Amino acid sequence: AQSVTQPDIHITVSEGASLELRCNYSYGATPYLFWYVQSPGQGLQLLLKYFSGDTLVQGIKGFEAEFKRSQSSFNLRKPSVHWSDAAEYFCAVGAPDGNKLVFGAGTILRVKS
Amino acid sequence: SQTIHQWPATLVQPVGSPLSLECTVEGTSNPNLYWYRQAAGRGLQLLFYSVGIGQISSEVPQNLSASRPQDRQFILSSKKLLLSDSGFYLCAWRQGLGARGNTIYFGEGSWLTVV
């Protein structure tokens, strides 16, 4: 069965600093991987996804993520964080032939000015 | 383009009362539909998913039920709410059988507070 671990519950970064949110997954084959962002009291918005091909994927709002099979990781990065990036971020994994996504517990990002 | 709507956005219900949350998807046909719950400070838990009308898969035993009376309608229900049912409920959809990839798209969520 798939599983996702986001080891950091909270992260605080200064505005303008770089960001990396960690995600490790467990799955027997090449999974489909996703990052979603959730602002308080709202639904989840898809930031980016990886299905196959180039292991560095670009998403919306200046985010990118890199799939590293050897480390079973799909970390999310942004070179310069803006105050509006403060939100909760979820990593998710899905089987290519499956119906479901399994989500990590989320990482709450706080941006200080 | 596809859109997803769920309502009500906010609900305060007494313990023991019934519940009905509704979700509809527009702009697609034969979608997979999902209900997730997000308790305070926790991640997303898949409650139910459906691959077609009348087909419901339950992921966890609980006080809730789901129904899919029409292709693009998904309803979450309870006959008697418990305090532990409080949380943020998210409806979601993805393209169904034969579609490549499982990008899931979410509605705006419904806050349920059981008092």
Query: Which pLDDT tens digits describe chain B residue by residue (115 residues)?
Result: 889 999 999 999 999 999 999 999 999 889 999 999 987 666 888 999 999 999 999 988 778 999 999 999 999 999 999 999 999 999 999 987 655 556 889 999 999 999 9
Query: Which residue does chain A place closest to B107, by CA atoms?
Result: A43
Contacts of B103 in chain A (CB under 8 A): 34, 46, 49
User: How far apart are the CA of A60 and the nearest CA of chain B, in angstroms?
Assistant: 15
Beta strands (DSSP E) in chain B are 3-7, 10-13, 19-26, 32-38, 44-52, 55-58, 65-70, 73-78, 87-94, 105-106, 110-114
User: What is the rounded CA–CA span in Å between residue A25 and residue B97?
Assistant: 25
The pLDDT value given to residue A96: 67
Query: Which residue does chain A place closest to B98, by CA atoms?
Result: A97
The pLDDT value given to residue A29: 77
Structure confidence at residue A97 as a pLDDT band (50, 70, 90): low
The pLDDT value given to residue B41: 62
Report yes or no: B108 at the A interface, CB cutoff 8 Å.
yes
The pLDDT value given to residue B98: 57
User: Tokens in use for A31?
Assistant: 């999974």
Q: Judge residue B93's burial from the number of C-beta atoms within 10 Å of its C-beta, 0-12 exposed, 13-18 middle, 19 or more buried.
A: buried
Name residue A100's amino acid. Answer: K
Please give the torsion angle defined by the CA atoms of residues B80, B71, A94 and A46, in that order, rounded to the nearest 10 degrees. Answer: -90
Structure confidence at residue A51 as a pLDDT band (50, 70, 90): confident
Indicate which of A21, A48, A100 best probes the interface with B, i.e. most B CBs within 10 Å of its own CB.
A100
CB-CB: which of A42, A94, A101 is closest to B109?
A42
Domains defined for chain A, CATH in brackets: 3-112 (2.60.40.10)
Contacts of B92 in chain A (CB under 8 A): 44
The answer to whether the CB atoms of A43 and B102 lie below 8 A apart is no
| DSSP 8-state secondary structure symbol assigned to residue A59 | -
The answer to whether the CB atoms of A49 and B103 lie below 8 A apart is yes
Q: Nearest-CA neighbor of B31 among B115, B107, B111?
A: B107
Residues in a beta bridge with A57: A65
Q: Is the dihedral of CA A108, B112, B61, A45 positive or negative?
A: negative
The pLDDT value given to residue B11: 95
**A22-47 tens-digit pLDDT:** 999 998 777 889 999 999 888 899 99
Contacts of B49 in chain A (CB under 8 A): 99-100
Instruction: Count interface pairs A-B at CB distance under 8 A.
Output: 58
The pLDDT value given to residue A100: 80
The answer to whether the CB atoms of A90 and B43 lie below 8 A apart is yes
